[in-house]
Structure 1
Amino acid sequence: MKEKTLKTVKVRRWKFTILLILVGILTAGLFYTSYYEISNLLKNNNLQLTGLSKYINSFTISLSVAIVLVIFLFSFHKDFSHISSHIRKVRRGDFTEQIDVDRIHKNSKLYNTAREFNVMSNKLNNTIKDVVNMTNSVKHHSKTLELISKEEEINGGKLNYMTEDIKLSLEAQGEYLDDAFNGLCGVYEKVDVVDESLLVMRDDVEKKIKIASAGKDSFNYLNREINSLVNLLEENISRADSLKLHIHNLKEFVENVENANEKVGILTLIANVEDDNDKQPEANKEIKALSDEIEESIKSISTTFEDIDKDLRNLHHDVKGTKDTLHSQNKRFNSINKYSYAIDEFLKYSQYNIDKNLEVLRDIVDSKEEIFAFRENIANANICITEKVENVSSISNRQLENTWKIKDYSKDLFSLSKNLKKELEEFKVK
C-alpha cells in the first residue's frame, strides 16, 4: 500500500509540473501576442480607441487569468510540497510525524490522499512497533532458553559425577558391611562355644547334685552351694542366649542394610538414565525412603551394639563371679572325704571350662572395639550417601523446573510467532 501511494504521488507530481509548464507557455503567449499587436498598431498609427480598448481588455483579462492560475498553482504546489516532504521522511523510515491535513483544502483530491497516507503511515508505525516488541521478546526468550540449556548441561555433568560418587560410596559401605558381617559371625561362633560349654557344665552340676545329695549331712552345705552355683550358671546361660539373640538380630540388620544399599544403587542409576522427567521425582522418593530405612537400620545396629556390650560386661562379671565361687568352694571340698574325688574332678573340669570361657569372652571384648569401628564407618557412609542422594534429588527437581520453564517459553515463542504472522498477513506482497 505504501509503494502504491508513493507511485501515485510521483505521477501527480509530474502532471503538476507539465501543467505548470503549459500554463507558463500559455501566459507568455498571451502577453507576447498582446504586446506584438499593440506595438504594430502604434507604429502604423492605425490604432483606434475601440481597438485599443479591446486590446487593453484582452491584455487585462489575460493578466488576471495568469495571476489566478499562478496563485492556484502556487497553493497547489505548497500543499503538494508539504505532502512530498512528509513522504520523503516516511521513505527514510521516519514515522514520528503525520501530514497536517488542516493545511489542505478539504474538497481537493490531495486532502483525501493525505488522509489515506496518514492512515497508512499510522498503521505501518504501529505494525513496526509490534514487530520490534515481538523481536525483543523473542530475543529475551531465546537468551533465557540458552541460559537454561547451559544450566541443564551443567546439572547433567553434576548428576553424572554424583551418581559415580554414590556408586563408589555404596561399594565402600558394602566393604564395611562385609567386614562387620564377618566380625559378627566370628563373635557369634565364640558366643556359641561359650553357650555349649555352659550347657555341659550345667548337666555336670546336676549330676554332682545327685551325688552330693546321697552323701552325709556335711554335704548339705555343699548342696546349697552347688544350687547357688547352678543359679549362677543359669544366669550365665541366659546372658549367653541374650547375647546370641542380639548378635543374630545384628546380622539381620546388617543384611537389611546391604539389601537397601543395593536398591539405592539401582534406583540411583535408574534416576540418572531415566529420560522421562515426570518419573524422576518418584525414583527420588523411593531413594529417600530407602535412605531413611537404612538410617533406621543403622540406629538399630547401634542400639544392638550397646545391648551386646552390656550383655558382654554382665556375662563377663557373672562368669568371673562363678569362678570366684568355685574357687572358694574348692577350698571347702578339700575337707570332705567321701565323693571328694568325683567332686574334685568336676571342679577341676568346671574350672577349666570357665577359664576357657573367660578367654573366649576376652577375645569377644577385644573384638568389640573393632566391631564398633565398623558401626561408625557404616553410619558415616550412610550419612554421606544420604547427603549425596539429597543433592541428586535437588538437581533432578531443578531439571524438572527447567523443563517446565522451557515449555512455558516455547509456548510464548509460538504465540509471538503467531501474532507476528498475523500482523504481516495484512500486507499483500508480490
Structure 2
Amino acid sequence: MPSSQHSGKATNISQQSSRCSLKRGKVQVDARGAACPPLQGSALAYTLIGLGSGNKGCVLNKRVGFVGWRGMVGSVLMERMQAEDDFVLISEPVFFSTSQAGELGPDVGRGRAPLRDAMALDALAEMDVILSCQGGDYTKSIHPRLRTAGWQGYWIDAASALRMEPEATIVLDPVNRPLIDAALAAGKRDFIGGNCTVSLMLMAIGGLFKAEVVEWVSSMTYQAASGAGAKHMRELLAQMGVLHAAAAPLLADPSSAILEIDRRVTEALRGPALPTEHFGAPLAGSLIPWIDVALPNGQSREEWKGQAETNKILGISEHLIPVDGVCARVGAMRCHSQGLTIKLKRDLEIDEIVSLIQAANDWVQVVPNDRAETLRALSPAAVTGSLTVAVGRLRKMNLGSQYLCAFTVGDQLLWGAAEPLRRMLRILLET
C-alpha cells in the first residue's frame, strides 16, 4: 500500500515508504548501523529496524510536544493516535498545558508525567515537533516568538492562523501528499490543517481535481455545530430540549392539533428561554446561513476559504479554480454536508466520474443515486464517528452535460480536523 494511503497501524509500517519494521525488546540498529534506543519508560521497548536504503535512520528519536490535546479536536486526535499506535513511534511525547502545568498528563503507554507550561518558550524549544490544537490566538502568540528565537522544529497546527502564510503548507494527505513531500524536501517547517469543509470536499471529489476535469465548483454547505466548538454543540442540544419541552404535553396526546404544536415550538424559538449565547440565534428547528466574519465583497470568511484553501492545498497559484457558495450552520452535531454543483471541463460519463472519485483514496464511498441507498448511507447519522467520506446524488444537471450535481457528508472532527494532523505527524515520524 502506498504511503499516501497507509492505514497508520504500527504493525503495517514495513509496508510504508519508511521501509521499517517494529521489534520489541533489545536495542536494534537502523539502516546506517546507528543504535535505535528502546523507548524510555515503556513496559515494552519498541525499536525500528531499517529494511532498505529508503530509511533515513531511526525514526524514534523525536520529541513531540502536544498543546491543546484536551479540547475537542485534540481529544479526537489522541483517540486516533492511540488507535493507530502512533505513540509507539515517538521517543518522548510531551504534553503541555496553558493552565495546569505541573499536574499529571495523560498515559499514552509510558505512564503519566507532569504537564509542561505551554507558554514557556524554552520548554517548547526542546521539541522536534509541536502539534497544536490550542487555537489561533495561541499560535499567533507563540509561533513567531519561537521562530524568532531560532527554533527549527516542525510546527503542526489545527488553527487557521498560519494557513495562508507563504512558508506554510496546508496538509491533506492523501490528497496533496506530493506537495507535502516537496515542502519537506524544500525545508518547510510549518504544516497546517485546512478548513473543515474544504478538506471534506477534497476528500470526496479529489479524484476529479487530480484528473484536471474541474472548471469550477459551487458548494452550498450544511455545517455541523462541532465546527463552531464544544460549547456550541451543548447549546444546540439545550435548544432542542427547550423546543421539546414546549410541545411535550401536546406530543403525548395523539388528538392534539399539529398546528398548535407548531405554534408552541415557534413561540419557544422566538422566546427568551431559548439559549443563544454562543450561536447568537436559534439553530435547533432552524438554521444560520452565515459563518465567520463578513468580507467587503459580501462573502463570509468561511466562504472565502473555499477557493483560497482549495487552490493552495492543490498547489495551484496561477489560473485558480473558482470555488464559491453559501455556508450555513445546521442542527447536525459533527458531520458537515455539502451540495456541490461542479462544472466539468469536458463531458464525462457518470461511470467514469465514479471511477475517478473512487480511485482517489481509500475512504471515499460513492453512494448510488437511489433513494434507499441515499437514506441508508448519505447522512450525518450514517457517517458520524467514521473516516468514511460519502458522496452521492451524482447526476448530470439540466444546465448541460458538463454540469455535475453531488452531495457529500464527512465527519468534521476526523477528516475535517484531526486526521490530516495525525497523518502529517506520522509522515514526519516515518521520514
Q: Please indicate, yes or no, whether the TM-score normalized by the shorter chain is above 0.5.
A: no
Alignment TM class, shorter chain as reference: under 0.3
| TM-score, normalization by structure 1 | 0.18
Bigger relative contact order (CA 8 A; separation at least 6): 1
* Structure with more strand by fraction: 2
Structure 2 length-normalised TM: 0.18
Larger Rg over CA atoms: 1
Structure (1/2) with the larger helix percentage? 1
